[in-house]
Copies of this chain bind each other. A is one copy, B any other.
Amino acid sequence: MDASLIMDALSERADIVEDCLDVLLPEAPGLEARLFAAMRYATLGGGKRLRGFLVMEVAALFGVAETCAARVAASVEMLHAYSLVHDDLPSMDNDDLRRGKPSTHKAFDEATAILAGDALQARAFEVLADPDTHSDPQARAELLLSLAHAAGARGMAGGQMIDMEAEGRALTLPEIARLHALKTGRLIQFSAEAGAILGRSPSHLRAQVAAYGRDLGAAFQIADDVLDASSTAAELGKTAGKDKAAGKATFVTLLGIERAAMQARMLSEQAVTHLEHFGEEADRLRGLAHWVVSRKS
């Protein structure tokens, strides 16, 4: 599938997710107005919404109502946004630029950024637990269990810890692969799996889309390292070359750009093989797998 078709599809889904986020993250009066404003600032108007796209595309495979899928997509994007806010903090990656604008602690302040991240995480779970997201409490509880696992110490937060520990010590290739799997992989895998959970899919199909998400996430992250090593900040909308500046080992520093890019393509092809049980209705997911390793930003 043509890259421009994928970008159109991403953009179309992103608009739906954006509208949903706009409703789920209202402004508020009172002394806590600053917190609500920071939550909106950190979440709205940015990003490719790759995770939200995955939720919605897989949900569509299983015939899930778009309004339900959009809420789950919004929830995942809130969780992702919170992780970016905290990762950018001075005591973490100390990054002043995110999605082409000042990161949340620069636009507000550190305390507000920490709280906005905290509140976004809570809001993500609150949205999933709401009966509006799915009428079956079993589906909601499964979504919550999977998302909480993907977000926590055995997922995203654990991955960020490894990333912090990696400063000043050179990780091996398997260690970096594990870092990726935890820091970004689990949430991307959840995004694909969530669509199947929403659709009360049979477990073998849920396992297939989860495997697709896992490999896609791994491909995406290596491609990100390749982009970080070969792009400018203007192209990325965030600080470029920061892995090298931080002295971090990545697939690129260990394998070189060419072999790292090849590894990403291999994983992307592997992701597509997990979709063999699906027909042409999964073509956009196949196209996405090719797009994540060929994109320029």
Contact = CB atoms under 8 A, between A and B. Distances in A.
A269 interface: no
A114 B86 contact: yes
Given A114-B89, A141-B144, A148-B129, A119 B157 contact: yes
A14 B111 CA distance: 31
A126 B141 contact: no
A179 to B, nearest CB: 8
Contacts of A155: 122
A140 B142 CA distance: 10
Contact of A115 (B34, B112, B148, B161): B161
A212 to B, nearest CB: 24
Interface in A123-179: 123, 125-126, 128-131, 137-138, 140-142, 144-145, 148-149, 151-153, 155, 157-162, 164-166, 171, 175, 179
B152 A32 contact: no
Contact size range, A: 35 or more
Contacts of A142: 129
Interface in A245-267: none
Contact of A153 (B109, B119, B153, B162): B119
A169 to B, nearest CB: 9
A289 B31 CA distance: 30
Interface of A: 28, 30-32, 34-36, 39, 86, 89, 91-92, 109-112, 114-115, 117-119, 121-123, 125-126, 128-131, 137-138, 140-142, 144-145, 148-149, 151-153, 155, 157-162, 164-166, 171, 175, 179, 182
Given A115-B164, A122-B157, 13 more contacts: A31-B175, A32-B165, A35-B158, A111-B164, A118-B157, A119-B153, A121-B121, A122-B152, A123-B153, A126-B149, A130-B145, A137-B138, A141-B141
